[in-house]
Structures are given as structure tokens and as C-alpha cells.
Amino acid sequence: MPHKAPAPADARPTAKPGAGSGSGPADAPPESPAADIDAGQFARNMLTVGMKSQQLLLDFIARRKADPGPLDPLNITGAMMALAKAMGEDRQTVLQAQVRWWTDVMTLWESTARRMLGGQAPSLVEPAPGDRRFRAEAWQQNEIFDFIKQSYLLTANAMQDTVGRLNGLDEAERQRVAFYTRQFADAMAPTNFPLTNPEVLNATIASNGENLVKGLDNLLADIERGQGELAIRQSADGFVIGENIATAPGKVVFRNAVMELLQFSPSTDEVHERPLLIFPPWINKYYILDLRPENSFVRWLVAQGYTVFLVSWVNPGPEMAEAGFEEYMKGGIFAALEAVEQATGVRDPNCVGYCIGGTLLAATLAYMAATGDDRIHSATSWAAQTDFSEAGELSVFVDEAQLDALKARMDSQGGVLPGSKMAGAFNMLRANDLIWSFVINNYMLGKQPMPFDLLYWNSDTTRMPEKLHLSYLRNCYRDNALALGKMTQDGVKLDLSKVKIPAYFQSAREDHIAPAVSVFKGSRLFGGPVRFIIAGSGHIAGVINPPAAKKYQYWTNDKKAADIDTWRAGAKEQPGSWWPDWDAWLAKLSGGKVAARVPGDGKLKVLGDAPGSYVKVKAQ
């Protein structure tokens, strides 16, 4: 499953659209409790909360009756049955886990009692690095809340540890069970309940319960916006495509049923002779590469003297239900190559594929190698997989029961998958940051989310054609057919070892969608010269990291390595962004300098201004 990209762990909301300050959605310190509660106002607010909650429940029941849908589309039942079977057959591991947990809990009771009597006692367990749920002072200073926190962490850790130790689970089952066990543990965190969250308690006392009333209003608004399903707002409004995001100057120079092709205006007098053609993932909109001027990859590339063409994929409707990899290869990559040649006279541009766009590009390169087509000079892969044998947690969504449920869902929607369904799956990969933090902020504290361009993009979803999406999940995630040489495209068998052009593979250390080990293994399938690097951060910030920000780092290793552990052992850490490293590699493959090209100067006429029309089509 491709790209709905989770926000990076260090991402920070902005106080204004396009700004870069502030902290997480629930970062504000708790308000001081009011000295006195207005009992009458508090009672009225609680009555309002009760009435709205009752109506919410009734509406939910009515919607389930009208459209019951699959009871278990994620096949959680199958994972839990596998867990129960393994626990029944490996009683020794279960007993040992219970003894360890009980011993830890008794020790915690003892240390808590010592603290309540005025003594000192060290914590038995601390939140993992990066876990922001327990930052409020009360979780450290108040003995009761500290006990709740530690008992929760001990239990959550024990659950995960038991799953890891159990015999009788194959690795695929263990991964699925561990994933859903973590989802359950995250959902049961004391921070997610008003009575065990000190920040929510303080806010409730200070506002006489007004926060809960506002929170329910936010919840109802999100359900209405999701047309009966919960669509959590991660960013306040305030962004307009083409006005304060996706503003790099350029033109639409080609359009068909699959994509619009954007050519961006030059900012230098001379440009590299060979243009650059970028294929973003079709599961998202292209403007992750052009959010704000200061972090726009597009603007940076133009400033380095590249003629940049970028595909903006259509947001498909039921009319494209039968479009598959072949249609996206021919109507996307091949049509774009022809258009670039018409616009510039160059028949073999350098090409880039981002995430699932990189998977399509790799499959197309294998097809071109088999058919003698040499219209791509070099290929760059940003956070893209071709070997899915270690594809990470997204693999938990591709067992047969889930694929059948997914097909039924798409059939009911006319042959497309609503973008909100994909967004939900990606948000689950980082549920505490992308789901539960907003549940607390929006529904319990009654606040509005901050305006944040990255999370606005994250929620600006696209639909998936049924044939394309299912073939991707089955061929790549389930069968790993592209890596094994068993995948065909338009009747041609694909063999990545026949791809001899230079290739650059960017991965990211904390990428949960395209793990670095997966990208590394895929890079070794290609038959030409390959450069592989690992960037800091994750799937988004690992790619979108302008040099001026002076953030993160990247690792390089020019020696061949049989596996990623060997590669890491010999890698050298480099400070800052990986973009200059790629630029140095790419410039050598881009020819001499020519006069800057203006969109419309070639044989292609301008059809309209960037960002075009396809990117503006909204869909659930």
C-alpha cells in the first residue's frame, strides 16, 4: 500500500498558513483549574454533552442499519484468533509473561506507596523516546497520575513483549498481531479518556465543561464532513491551492485522461540541456513537492538550473475503475516522455519516481529494457520500493480477507477506493501522532487544530482505481512479483536486472512506509550503476529537506555491500540535506547549459497556469 504520507515525527504546526512555528496539536500546557466551579453552568454543559452524545449514538446505529458494510474489513478477528491459538499452545511463555507483569505491578504499588508517604522511588518505566503523550507535569509530579501512567506502560509493553516471544506464529502473523496489539494499546492509553487525562480534567474544571461541549460540536462537524464517517481534522482551513500552497510559477503544457503535465518557469538564465521529469505518487497530490516557497523542492530544482516537468495525476472517478498499471504507464510515463520531447527537443530526460510513482517508474524501466526503448537517461527513486519482502507494517493490510473486503468496498463505490480509507490506514502507522493527539485536542479539549500545510496536504486525499490498486497490492505487497521477475506489463515479463541506466536511490532512516532496508534490497535488483543513500527522518521530511533548513543528515557508502547492515557499518554520516549530493550526481547526467526554456516556447502550447485543474478536484 503506497503513499498516504504520515507527517514526520518532528513536524510542527504553523500559527499562520505557511509559517513554521508552534508545536503539536495538543502541546499547550493545561490551563489552571478555576478556583470555583459554577455548578449551574457545569450541570447545563454536562446535560448538553449527554443529549448530544445520545443523539450521536442513535445516528450511528441508524447509519449502520442503512449501510452495514463489512463487519471486519481489516480482518482483526483473524489476527486475534491466531494470537489466541498461539497463546493456548505456548502456555509457558504466557505464564512467564504474567509472572513478569505481576511482579512489575507489585513493585509499582510499593514504589507509589513510598512516594505517597513522602519517600523517594525511581520510575520503573518511562515513555519511549518521542512519545509525547505524558509530557504534562501532572504525569510526573502527581503520584496517582504517575501510577496510572506507569501501570499503563508496563501493561502495554508486556503485551507487545508477549507477542514477540510467543511460539506458533509465523512472521507474517506475528507482524499483524503485533500491529493490532499496538493499536489496541494506543487506543487504551489513559490520555485518551477525560477522567484519566489531567490536562482534560483541568480544562473541564476551568471552563465548567465548555471544552466537552465544543469537543462534541467538533466531533459532529467531522462526522458530517465525512458523510457519516469520522474524518478527523488535522489542520485548520486557510490554505488555497495556487494561492498560498502550490505556488511555484509554471504552466500546464499537456493533459490527458490520466494526468496533467506541468512545466515550471525558469529562474536562471541558463539551464541544463537534459530536462527533469518527476512522477509523484498518485495516491497523493503532487504539491507535497511545492508546499511553501521555503521548502519547495520544485523551486529549489529550478534554482539549480533544471527544466522541471512534473506529472499531476487525475483524481479518478468510476470511469477509470478498469485503469491499471498499463494505462498509467502509457497515459502517464510514456505520454509525458513524448510531451517533454515536444516541449524541449530532448527525447531522453532524467526521471524521478516518488513512492508508488517510483514503483511504477521501475516497472516501466524494466518494460522499456525488454522492448528496446531508451527514452529515459537516468532514474531517481525517492522513498520507493521494488522489493517488498521487507516492506514494513503496511504489509499487515494485504491478507486475502482484507483484499476481498477492499474489493467489495470499491465495487460498492463504483470501482474506486475513497481517499479517506487510504488516509485512515496510513494514519494508523503513527496513531498517537495522527489520530489520538487530535482526538484529545479537538474532541476533549474542544480546540481547533492549527493551520499546518503538511497536514492539510495529508488530508487532501485522492481516490484509487480498483484495478490499479488491487494489482499493486497483489503483485507487489502480497506476491513481490516485481522483485522476483514474475510481474508482467502489457504482456511483457519484467526483469529489473536488464535496467542498465544510472540510478539513484534515496531512502530514509525512520521511514515506516518504504523502510530503508526495503529500498536497499530493491536497488540491488538493477543492472546498472547504482547510488544508494539513507537520509534522516521519515517518508516525508526525509525527502522534503531543503538545504537552507540545515536539518537532519544523510549517510553515504560508495562501496558495494551485500546487505544493509554491512552498508550501514561502512557508511559515512554527512550533515544536512541530501539534495546537494543528488544534485552533484544528477548534474553530471544532465548535459551542458542552454538558454532557459519558457513554457510554451516549444511545440506544446500552454493550456493554463500551474498548478492546473486536476490537483484541485476534491474527493473523500
**Catalytic-residue membership of 355:** yes
For helices 91-116 and 76-89, the axis angle rounded to 10 degrees is 100
Q: Which three cell numbers stand for residue 158?
A: 508486556
* Positive or negative: CA dihedral 229, 243, 433, 381: positive
| Secondary structure class of 313 (helix, strand, coil) | strand
The answer to whether 111 touches 143, Cβ cutoff 8 Å, is: no
In what helix (H) or strand (E) does residue 260 lie, and over which residues does it extend? strand 259-264
Question: Which DSSP string do the residues of 394-417 spell out, in sequence order?
Answer: GGGG-SHHHHHHHHHHHHHTTSEE
* Helix, strand, coil % in the chain, rounded to nearest 5: 50, 10, 40
| Secondary structure class of 217 (helix, strand, coil) | helix
Distance CA 207, CA 209 (A): 5
Distance CA 261, CA 409 (A): 31
Of 309, 314, 297, 366, nearest to 337 by C-alpha is 309
Distance CA 342, CA 522 (A): 33
Q: Which of 355, 482, 494, 544 is catalytic?
A: 355
Residues in CB range of 16: below 8 A, 6 or more apart:
238, 451
Give the torsion through C-alpha atoms of 582, 584, 589, 595, to 10 deg.
Answer: 110
Distance CA 303, CA 293 (A): 12
Q: What angle do CA 284, 289, 294 make, to 5 degrees?
A: 140
Q: Which three cell numbers stand for residue 534?
A: 539513507
Residues in CB range of 98: below 8 A, 6 or more apart:
none
The answer to whether 195 touches 201, Cβ cutoff 8 Å, is: yes
Residues in CB range of 207: below 8 A, 6 or more apart:
31, 446
Region of 518 on the Ramachandran plot (φ > 0 left; ψ -120 to 50 alpha; else beta): alpha
Q: How far apart are the first and last CA of the chain?
A: 18
Q: Which three cell numbers stand for residue 124?
A: 520503573
Phi and psi (nearest 5°) for 610?
A: -65, 145
Distance CA 425, CA 27 (A): 24
The answer to whether 189 touches 22, Cβ cutoff 8 Å, is: no
Distance CA 504, CA 378 (A): 8
Of 462, 460, 428, nearest to 316 by C-alpha is 462
Distance CA 558, CA 514 (A): 22
Distance CA 461, CA 455 (A): 11
Residues catalogued as catalytic = 355
